[in-house]
Structure 1
Amino acid sequence: MDRVRINVTKLALFAYHGVNDEEQRLGQRFYIDMSLIVAPVLATKSDLLDDTISYEDVIHCAEDAFLEKKYRTIERAASAVGSAIMAQFPTIQNLSVTVHKPSAPVAAIFDDVAVTVDFSRDG
């Protein structure tokens, strides 16, 4: 059985997540990375889209879950994205969702703050 890893990196979304009132009022740009392990994937032999998962569909699912409401923490936002993807795509065995918040309101010099939530059908 072939297992395939599908990666989506730096999906950029503007949203109103955050603990501070100002973050929820003004919003900011977030980036989402997703790594999916899919099995079985017949497309490695058939070369047919119907035999794999459309990453376009995964992206739309992630966008909908991330933008559906305001979350106070990026942990909860990442969990909402991962839960929605796992529910919609039963052939995904493992999934990692990382939400990046490069403009987090912290009095420090840094490139990024990110949280990763991992999902598995194995328990």
Structure 2
Amino acid sequence: MKGILKIQNAVFYAYHGVMSEEQNLGRKFEVDVELEYDFSKAAETDKLEYAVNYEKVYQSLREILTENKFYLVEKLAYLIGKKILDKFQNVEAVKVRVRKLHPPVGGLIDYVEASIEIKR
């Protein structure tokens, strides 16, 4: 039984961007992930060992967002997807959305978003 586990709107303050002010002052980023995997054993047994531990997924997000500096949101989305597939072997596919809030573009916009889907 395949299912989707979602983490919606994980918020981090981080230092990614091309402009020096983004690298020095930082800004808020939001991340959504959708993890597709076989829910069967987790649903039948109610044991975490057969599920994807979303606390560990969140920790992976936090590590990538807060312990690195990258220029592009595309790079962030890619690295998140790759790390999730590398770390969680039961995940068959991952969708990642990374939003940079209020980017410096010379005007007012809510966010820019990069999204990616990676399958095994």
Q: Which range, TM-score by smaller chain?
A: over 0.9
CA distance in 2, matches of 1:68, 1:83: 16
CA distance in 1, matches of 2:91, 2:98: 19
Structure 1 counterpart of 2:21: 22
State the Cα distance separating 1:41 from its structure 2 match: 3.7
- Give the TM-score, by structure 1 length: 0.91
- Alignment length, in residue pairs? 120
State the Cα distance separating 1:118 from its structure 2 match: 1.1
- Give the TM-score, by structure 2 length: 0.93
State the Cα distance separating 1:68 from its structure 2 match: 2.5
CA distance in 1, matches of 2:107, 2:114: 18
Structural RMSD (CA): 1.2
**Corresponding letter in the other structure for 1:98:** R
1:42 match: secondary structure: helix
Q: Retained in 1: the 8 A contact 2:37–2:90?
A: yes
Q: Retained in 2: the 8 A contact 1:96–1:119?
A: yes
Q: Retained in 2: the 8 A contact 1:10–1:32?
A: yes
Q: Retained in 2: the 8 A contact 1:41–1:52?
A: no
1:58 match: secondary structure: helix
1:114 match: secondary structure: strand
**Corresponding letter in the other structure for 1:8:** I
Q: Retained in 2: the 8 A contact 1:40–1:91?
A: no
State the Cα distance separating 1:71 from its structure 2 match: 0.3
| Paired-residue identity, % | 28
CA distance in 1, matches of 2:40, 2:86: 18
Q: Retained in 1: the 8 A contact 2:16–2:22?
A: yes
In structure 1, stretches of 5+ residues that fail to align are: none
| Displaced runs of 4 or more, over 4 A | none
Structure 1 counterpart of 2:112: 113
Structure 1 counterpart of 2:93: 94
